[in-house]
Amino acid sequence: MTDGSNYIRQRESRAETGQSRDLSYPPLPPALVVPCYDNHTHLEIADGDDPLDYLQQLDMASSVGIRGVVQVGGDVETSRWSAEMAAREPRMLAAVAIHPNEAPRYEAAGTLDDAIAQIDELAGRPRVRAVGETGLDFFRTEESGRGAQHRSFEAHIAIAKKHDLAMQIHDRDAHDAVIETLLRVGAPERTVFHCFSGDADMARLCADNGWYLSFAGNITFKNAGNLREALEVVPRDRILVETDAPFLTPAPLRGRPNSPYLIPYTLRFMADHLGTDVSVLAAQISSNTELVYGQWDAEPVSGDAGSPWDDAVDPAQLA
């Protein structure tokens, strides 16, 4: 157990299934021979009965060939944490945004415009390379909150374009509306569907528009035939891989805390499914990832990026 000040959120223990789950971190998988990245993770969320802090998780990831991660914020506080940590940690780049399920809460408090302005400021900082996760979520947010979600999404698209950053999209039960928005206002040049949840037809449409599909551990789940079909049809130069840790732990570890060091499970599964070699796929995805976010060492880190947060924060879920 390490210094708890390195987390700013605690995952709810029943968040994933509503049932009890194994709260121990899985052991390290065999290391990748060709390194790869995790392009979407939430290291600010403590999980498990003996939480690992972001440095422990990054060290474990390094030991199995995960070169770097994109640390993703979902509100002003987690976005600021992400930007500050990325500023001093060479293996971390940051993505900043108001999550689509947070937008209605800010709106209700009358602070959505201010929050978006703060995201705009963070987006201009060094080592912040993406705006996200943003998008639409019709699963968690009901009708009354969707106006705020749409407004926030379009504002985030504008921020990504203004700073020439990649954009990470959260799309839950909102495929048509997300695509309609992107086509209407114009997607940022590098647009990623984080935790892609569509089918083969949607995958083709995304690829035709030059968008990227990031696959998470749920591609290993039994009922995820649509994701495996999407993976089969999408050109290899549009594929990314992520954990969305601490959520979406791949089979056979489902339900346990997730972490970037578990990427090899998902990557090996994807390579097996495609009938290719995991090193070939890792090389392709690494190259895709660097095209989307740039090189991890392109901007130097600094030692004085601020101190870790230690105040408890709203336990709202970001998955």
Which range, of 63-71, 124-132, 243-251, 256-264, touches Zn ion by CB under 5 A?
243-251
- 275-314 mask for Zn ion (x: CB under 5 A)? ----------------------------------------
**The one among 46, 244, 266, 278 contacting Zn ion by CB under 5 A:** 244
Which range, of 3-11, 14-22, 176-184, 239-247, touches Zn ion by CB under 5 A?
239-247
Q: How far is the CB of 241 from Zn ion (least distance, A)?
A: 14
Contact between 16 and Zn ion by CB under 5 A: the answer reads no
Mode of pairing for the β-strands spanning 166-172 and 128-137: parallel
Cβ-based nearer residue to Zn ion, 16 or 244: 244
Q: How far is the CB of 145 from Zn ion (least distance, A)?
A: 19
Cβ-based nearer residue to Zn ion, 45 or 202: 45
**Which residue in the shown chain puts its C-beta closest to Zn ion?**
244
Q: Is 212 helix (H, G, I), strand (E, B) or coil?
A: strand
Which range, of 103-111, 220-228, 236-244, 270-278, touches Zn ion by CB under 5 A?
236-244
Task: Please list the alpha-helical segments (H only) found in 136-234.
Answer: 146-162, 175-185, 200-208, 225-233
- With beta carbons less than 8 A apart as the criterion, state whether 145 and 164 touch: no
In Å, how far are 2, 29, 228, 242, 285 from 43, measured between CA atoms? 14, 19, 27, 13, 21
Distance CA 270, CA 232 (A): 9
Residue in the block written with tokens 């040049």: 189
Q: Which amino acid is at 85?
A: M
Cβ-based nearer residue to Zn ion, 41 or 288: 41
Distance CA 36, CA 102 (A): 31
Q: How far is the CB of 214 from Zn ion (least distance, A)?
A: 10
Which range, of 29-37, 90-98, 241-249, 259-267, touches Zn ion by CB under 5 A?
241-249
Cβ-based nearer residue to Zn ion, 129 or 278: 129
126 torsion bin: left (phi>0), alpha (psi -120 to 50), beta (else): beta
Cβ-based nearer residue to Zn ion, 148 or 169: 169
Taking CB under 5 A as the criterion, which residues in 190-229 touch Zn ion? none
Residue in the block written with tokens 């639409």: 136
Q: Which residues contact 33 (CB under 8 A, 6 or more apart)?
A: 65, 278, 279, 282
Which range, of 142-150, 220-228, 244-252, 275-283, touches Zn ion by CB under 5 A?
244-252
Chain residues binding Zn ion by CB under 5 A are 244
